[in-house]
Amino acid sequence: MKPTFRLPVTFLSHYFNRIRRCSSSIRSVDLDRAAAPIDGCDYKHWLVVMDPPVGYPLRYQIVDRYIQTLASALGSEEEAKKLIYSVSTKYYYAFGCKIHENVIHTLKSMPNVRWVLPDSHISNSLGNNNYGGEPFTDGCVVPYDETFHEDWLQDRSDNGFRRTTRRKRSRRKEHKTDRG
Over its length of 180 residues, how does the chain's per-residue pLDDT go in tens digits? 444 444 444 443 444 444 344 444 444 445 555 555 567 788 899 999 999 999 999 999 999 999 999 999 999 999 999 999 999 998 899 999 999 989 999 999 999 999 999 998 766 555 566 778 889 988 998 888 877 766 656 643 334 544 444 455 555 555 555 555
pLDDT at 45: 93
pLDDT at 172: 58
Domain extent listing, the chain: 40-163
The CATH number of domain 40-163 is 2.60.200.30: no
Residues in the chain, total? 180
Terminal C-alpha separation, the chain: 54
Whose CA is closest to 85, among 14, 25, 139? 139
pLDDT at 79: 97
d(C-alpha 141, C-alpha 146), whole Å: 14
> What are the angstrom distances between the C-alpha of 140 and each of 86, 112, 144, 166?
10, 22, 12, 30
